[in-house]
Amino acid sequence: MFPLAFTLAALALPAAAHAQAADTAAMAAQAEAMHKLDWMHGKWRGEARMQMPGGKELVVTHTERVGTLLGGTITLIEGKSFGADGKVPFNAFAVVSYDPAAKAFTMASHTGGRSGSFPLIAAERGYAWEVPAGPAARVRYKASFDGTTWTETGDFVADGQPPRPFFRMTLKRVGDTDWPMAGSMTRD
C-alpha cells in the first residue's frame, strides 16, 4: 500500500508544481488594465456628505489612500471618515482586480460588517459600481477625476422611480503614499 501511495503522490507532484506557476500573460494584462486607476494612487482628503435615515445630513472629513500590490495587478483602497468629534463613523477597504479572460473589473468591498464583490466599470478618469439594495433597487456609485478633484456620488435607484442622491465626496490629492508596500516582509 505504501509504494502505491508514494507513486501516486510522485505522479501528482508535477501537476501541483504546475498549478503554482505564474501566468505571466494574465499578470501583464491585469497590470495593464490597472493603469486606468493610476490617477487614484496616493493620499486624498476632502469633504463627504451623506443623507442619513430621518433626513439628517452627516458631513465629515473624508480620506482615501490608494496603492497597488502583486506587481500592480491589484489596487487597494482604504476610505476613512472623521467626524467633527474625531470619531470614525465610516471606514472601508476594497480590492480592485481585473479578470483578463472576462475582460472585467471586480471590486471586493468591506465595511461596517458587510462585504461583497461587485462589478466595477473603470474608465481613464473615473469608475462606476452598484450594490444591490433590495428587490428592484440598487445603490449606484459614480466617480470622476477632473485633473485636481476626485468626486464620487451615490444614488439610491429603485425601479420606476427617479434616482435619489444620498452621498457626495469631493477630495483633493494631498500626497504620495508607499502604502500598502511600506513595512512589507523582507527575506531577512
Burial of 156 (0-12, 13-18, 19+ CB in 10 A): middle
Distance CA 120, CA 109 (A): 11
Q: What is the pTM of this model?
A: 0.86
> Is the separation of the CB atoms in 48 and 68 below 8 Å?
no
Q: Which residues pair with 149 in a beta bridge?
A: 172
CB atoms within 10 A of CB 92: 16
CA distance 148 to 159: 34
Q: What is the pLDDT of residues 71-128, one digit of tens each?
A: 999 999 999 999 999 999 999 999 999 999 999 999 999 999 999 999 999 998 999 9
- pLDDT per residue as tens digits for the range 35-72: 999 999 999 999 999 998 888 999 999 999 999 999 99
pLDDT(185) > 90: no
Q: Using a pLDDT cut of 90, give the percent of the chain over it.
A: 81
